[in-house]
Chain A
Amino acid sequence: MSGAINHDGRFGAYGGQYVPETLIPALDELTKEYDAAICDPSFVAALTAELETYVGRPSSLSDAPRFSKHVGAHVLLKREDLNHTGAHKINNAIAQALLAIRMGKRRIIAETGAGQHGVATATACARFELECVVYMGEEDMRRQELNVFRMRLMGATVIPVRSGTRTLKDATSEAIRDWVGTCDESHYIIGSVVGPAPYPRMVRDFQAIIGREARAQVLERVGRLPRTVVACVGGGSNAMGTFHAFVGDAEVELIGVEAAGKGLEASEHSASLQRGAPGVLHGSLSYLLQDAHGQVHPAHSISAGLDYPGVGPEHSWLRDTGRATYVSCTDAEALDAFGLLGRLEGIIPALETAHAVAWIDASRGRWASDDVVLLCVSGRGDKDVAQVAQSHTISV
Chain B
Amino acid sequence: MLSERFAALRASNRRALVCYVTAGHPDPGASLALVQGLADAGADVIELGVPFSDPVADGPVIQQSSQLALDAGMTLDRALELGARAKPDVPLVLFSYLNPLLAAGSDVLTRAHDAGIAGLLVTDLPVGSDPDRERWIGESPLSFVRLVAPTTPTERMASIASHGGGFVYLISRLGVTGARSELPPDLPATIHRLRSVCELPICVGFGVSSPEQARAVGALADGVVVGSALVTAAGRSVDDALGFVRALRAEMDRA
A residues whose Cβ falls under 8 Å from a Cβ of B: 16-26, 163-164, 169-170, 173, 176-177, 180-184, 279-283, 288, 290, 292-296
Contact = CB atoms under 8 A, between A and B. Distances in A.
B126 A21 contact: yes
A183 B100 contact: no
Nearest to B176: A177
Interface in B25-75: 52-59, 63, 67, 70, 75
B130 interface: yes
Given A279-B103, A293-B76, A20 B174 contact: no
A181 B57 CA distance: 10
Q: Determine which residue in A19, A163, A182, A295 has the highest number of CB atoms from chain B within 10 A of its CB, and name it.
A: A295
16 contacts: A18-B125, A21-B127, A21-B146, A21-B160, A22-B150, A23-B151, A163-B67, A164-B67, A169-B54, A183-B151, A294-B52, A294-B104, A295-B52, A295-B53, A295-B100, A296-B53
B49 to A, nearest CB: 14
Contacts of A295: 52-53, 70, 99-100
Given A173-B56, A177-B56, A290-B103, A26 B126 contact: no
A21 B153 contact: no
B10 interface: no
Contacts of A24: 126, 129, 149, 151-152, 156
A163 B63 contact: yes
A180 B56 contact: yes
A183 B57 CA distance: 13
Contacts of B53: 164, 295-296
Interface residues of B, number: 42
A20 B54 contact: no
Interface in B134-172: 146-153, 156, 160, 171
A21 B54 contact: no
A180 B59 CA distance: 11
A184 B174 CA distance: 9
Contacts, number: 119
Interface string B202-219: 000000000000000000
Contacts of A176: 56
Q: Determine which residue in A23, A184, A294 has the highest number of CB atoms from chain B within 10 A of its CB, and name it.
A: A294
A281 B54 contact: yes
Given A17-B129, A177-B176, A164 B100 contact: no
B11 interface: no
Contact of B129 (A18, A169, A182, A183): A18
B56 A20 contact: yes
B102 interface: yes
Given A21-B148, A24-B152, A24-B156, A16 B174 contact: no
A155 to B, nearest CB: 25
A16 B54 contact: no
Contacts of A18: 98, 124-126, 129-130
Contacts of A293: 75-76, 100, 103-104
A180 B174 contact: yes
A20 to B, nearest CB: 4
A279 B151 CA distance: 27
B101 interface: yes
